[in-house]
Amino acid sequence: MNISILRDNPQLVLPPQRLLGAYLQEIRAECLRYLRSPGFLLPTLLFPATFYLLFAVVLGKAQPPEVARFLLGSYATFGVMAPGLFGFGMSLALERDNGLLTLKRALPMPPLAYLLGKMVMAMMMGLAIVLVLQVLAVTVAGVPLSASQALRLTAVATFGTLPFCALGLLLGTLVKGNGAPAVINLVYLPMAVLSGLWFPLKMLPSVLREQAWIWPSYHLNALAQGALDFPVGRLWPHVLWLAGFALVVTGLAAWRLRRHG
């Protein structure tokens, strides 16, 4: 059998147990790498928590209790955007530049293990972020959060990282490593503002308010608010929009990687 075929398709020669082990080892290595990177880990965890404490507790004392619950959904959405965008986008751009991606392609490992490792890392970070926010909401902000609401919000936030993993993957194929942080921030922060995560959409000019639906963060925030029992209408259109966005953007990113490396 041709060597290149074996290299590009290691699942042809690896037994199922070793194939599963290869995926698990890549996931473990990716998670450990980020756990040992406080420059990524601490800001990702603390940034949404700090904003929540500021706006829901310090500045929100005179507001009705529903405000702190609403902000929990908003900052959960804001928080879980970062692991996908930065964990995929910035690291992929750097690894393309320093040759690590080329090396991984040459290794006898399943082709999807590299991306799956980053995806699981982003989901675990999303899970940690939403758990930290819920603890702060209940213990500091005094939000009466039911078990059902907490579980639904946790599920929405954890799986809600996936569309932003896709977007981060695409951005990582478009920019160089040195410019990746600036470019990703230019997407991350305006997207949060324009989709109503920092203040109500009614405060935006009508031309921007009417275009809020184009942002994945708008749809994820709707699911988060629905998980907290705010009236947001039907949830399935938001789920389908996010799923379609993730599939289309992942397809574009895969095409870019095949064409440009």
Q: Which amino acid is at 35?
A: L
22-31: pLDDT as tens digits = 777 777 877 7
Note the residue count of the chain.
261
Q: Is the confidence at residue 42, as pLDDT, over 70?
A: yes
Spatial distance between the Cα atoms of 154 and 159, rounded to a whole number of angstroms: 9
Assess contact for 88 and 165: CB atoms under 8 A.
yes
Assess contact for 70 and 200: CB atoms under 8 A.
no
Phi-psi region of 229 (alpha: psi -120 to 50; beta: other; left: phi over 0): left
Q: Is the confidence at residue 7, as pLDDT, over 50?
A: no
How high does pLDDT run on average in the chain? 84
Tokens (6 digits) for 241: 């929009």
pLDDT at 65: 75
89-133: pLDDT as tens digits = 887 787 777 766 666 666 666 767 778 888 888 899 999 999 999
pLDDT category at 162 given cuts 50, 70, 90 is: very high
pTM over cut 0.75: yes
pLDDT at 11: 45
Q: Which amino acid is at 71?
A: L
Residue in 215, 224, 222 with CA at minimum distance from that of residue 238: 222
Residue in 230, 225, 202 with CA at minimum distance from that of residue 78: 225
